[in-house]
């Protein structure tokens, strides 16, 4: 066996001394695909013709090594893909500056044309959904009835007029929602459109957007980009 290993360039740790022996031992404990094929070829060339290698065992060894090698290559590929995706996410994040995003939040400002557009996100279907828009002091200005809605996102658009028909101004406004299915409350959250002012990219973790009226928002919280 030693001569076979020597023939293909694999030495046992006992054939060297000191640090060289340690290095040789570490190398001898690892077989790459090329070394495996050399070893298999050497085994076949040096097999006893009266007692040849078991074909089933040889095929099983090759299949096992191929599987391990395939997993190793797949892990390398996935790591490269993850690194590329992370880099792309950071690069894309810079493009959010100056754009308007739809994200969970309770504060909204009026559009230049007046009023506020937003949405509600329901965790399950509801028989009745109400959206209340209040001023900065918490006084209700307008209540919108969205009726029955399915689970998911439902948009709303407020024209900027109070329940009495007066102009509500430019805000800021507080958006709240209430949803129920019969007598059972349905969980959900309001979504508001707001402009992105800047982007920060921490060393670890996803990019963070600074959104007007909402503060810092993780990139993953963005539901839509306007």
Grouping H, G, I as helix, E, B as strand and the rest as coil, residue 152 is strand
Q: What is the pLDDT of residues 118-136, one digit of tens each?
A: 999 999 999 999 999 999 8
Could you tell me if 88 and 167 lie in one domain?
Answer: no
From 26-35, 66-75, 130-139, 173-182, the region with the lowest mean pLDDT:
26-35
Could you tell me if 107 and 216 lie in one domain?
Answer: yes
Better-predicted residue by pLDDT, 77 or 23: 77
User: The domain that contains 121 carries what CATH number?
Assistant: 2.60.40.4070
pTM exceeds cut of 0.75: no
Token output for 166? 């007066």
Q: How confident is the model at residue 59 (pLDDT cuts 50, 70, 90)?
A: low
What residues does 209 pair with on adjacent strands? 199, 217
- Residue 24: DSSP 8-state: H
pLDDT at 176 > cutoff 50: yes
Residue with tokens 């797949």: 74
Could you tell me if 139 and 166 lie in one domain?
Answer: yes
pLDDT at 217 > cutoff 90: no
From 41-50, 180-189, 209-218, the region with the lowest mean pLDDT:
41-50
pLDDT at 203 > cutoff 70: yes
Could you tell me if 116 and 221 lie in one domain?
Answer: yes
Task: Give the domain-ending residue among 72, 92, 112.
Answer: 92
| Domain encompassing residue 8 | 2-92
Handedness of CA 212, 218, 222, 226 (dihedral sign): positive
Task: Give the domain-ending residue among 57, 92, 127.
Answer: 92
Residue 174's nearest CA partner among 190, 153, 154, 156 is: 190
Residue 190 CA to residue 121 CA, distance in Å, equals 6
Residue 24 CA to residue 124 CA, distance in Å, equals 63
Q: How many domains does the chain have?
A: 2
Identify the pLDDT of residue 30. 56
- Residue 184: DSSP 8-state: E
Could you tell me if 110 and 216 lie in one domain?
Answer: yes
Could you tell me if 84 and 136 lie in one domain?
Answer: no
Residue 78 CA to residue 81 CA, distance in Å, equals 5
Identify the pLDDT of residue 110. 87
Grouping H, G, I as helix, E, B as strand and the rest as coil, residue 128 is strand
pLDDT at 35 > cutoff 90: no
Identify the pLDDT of residue 96. 82
- Residue 114: DSSP 8-state: S
């Amino acid at each position: 066996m030693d001569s076979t290993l020597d023939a293909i360039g694999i030495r046992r740790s006992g054939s060297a001394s000191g640090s060289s022996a340690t290095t040789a031992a570490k190398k001898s404990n690892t077989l790459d695909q090329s070394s495996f094929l050399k070893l298999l070829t050497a085994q076949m060339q040096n097999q006893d013709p009266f007692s040849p290698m078991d074909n089933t065992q040889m095929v099983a060894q090759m299949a096992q090594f191929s599987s391990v090698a395939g997993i190793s290559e797949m892990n390398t590929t996935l790591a490269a893909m993850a690194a590329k995706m992370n880099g792309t996410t950071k690069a894309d994040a810079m493009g959010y500056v100056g754009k308007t995003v739809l994200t969970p939040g309770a504060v909204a400002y009026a559009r230049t044309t007046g009023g506020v557009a937003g949405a509600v996100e329901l965790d399950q279907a509801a028989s009745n959904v109400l959206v209340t828009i209040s001023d900065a002091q918490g006084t209700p200005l307008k209540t919108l009835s969205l009726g029955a809605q399915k689970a998911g996102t439902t948009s709303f658009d407020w024209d900027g007029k109070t329940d009495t028909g007066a102009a509500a101004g430019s805000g800021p406004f507080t958006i709240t929602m209430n949803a129920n299915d019969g007598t059972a409350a349905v969980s959900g959250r309001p979504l508001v459109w707001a402009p992105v002012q800047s982007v920060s990219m921490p060393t670890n973790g996803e990019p963070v957007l600074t959104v007007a009226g909402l503060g810092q928002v993780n990139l993953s919280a963005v539901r839509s980009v306007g």
